[in-house]
Amino acid sequence: MLITSLLPLLSRYSLGFDLAAGADSSVTLTIMPRKSEGAKNAPSVVELQAISITATPAEIDAELALGEAGALGQLVIARKALGDQLAEQRQQAEAAKTKAKPAPTAAKASSAPAKPEPAKAAAPEPKPGEPASLW
């Protein structure tokens, strides 16, 4: 059940495992995602956070037997969705970088100092009894 639960993560990462016995007959299972060989993008720090479960061996076995419905299965699904979203955002950012190349004329125009506009003549004073003109 453990490997079946972790298959979605194995498509993106290499996984390391650590199994340690506790003092009160508990066991801590730690799953450590790592960058897989030949991966295009380095995983983010969030994606590489270890998953740790501490319980009795029977409780861990029961949790793993739940598969996708269990806490580990749900965590793996959420991690895979996060990884997919991050990969999609990286692709979109790369596509935006290649599309948004500055035009040479725009660079020249923005680097030249702006010419001050000539001062407009002040509106003539209205004659007594007439409203002021807006034009």
CA 44 to mean position of chain CA atoms: 8
Distance of CA 1 to the CA centre of its chain: 30
Kindly list the domain boundaries of the chain, sorted by start residue: 2-101
Once rounded to an integer, what is the mean pLDDT over residues 81-89? 84
62 near 5, Cβ under 8 Å? no
| Cβ within 8 Å of residue 5, ≥6 positions away | 64, 67, 68, 70, 72, 73, 76
Q: What is the mean pLDDT of residues 43-65?
A: 83
Band of residue 121 on the pLDDT scale cut at 50, 70, 90:
low
What single letter denotes the amino acid at residue 32?
A: M
Residue 19: predicted pLDDT: 92
Instruction: With a cut of 60, say whether residue 109 has pLDDT above it.
Output: no
- Average pLDDT of the chain is 77
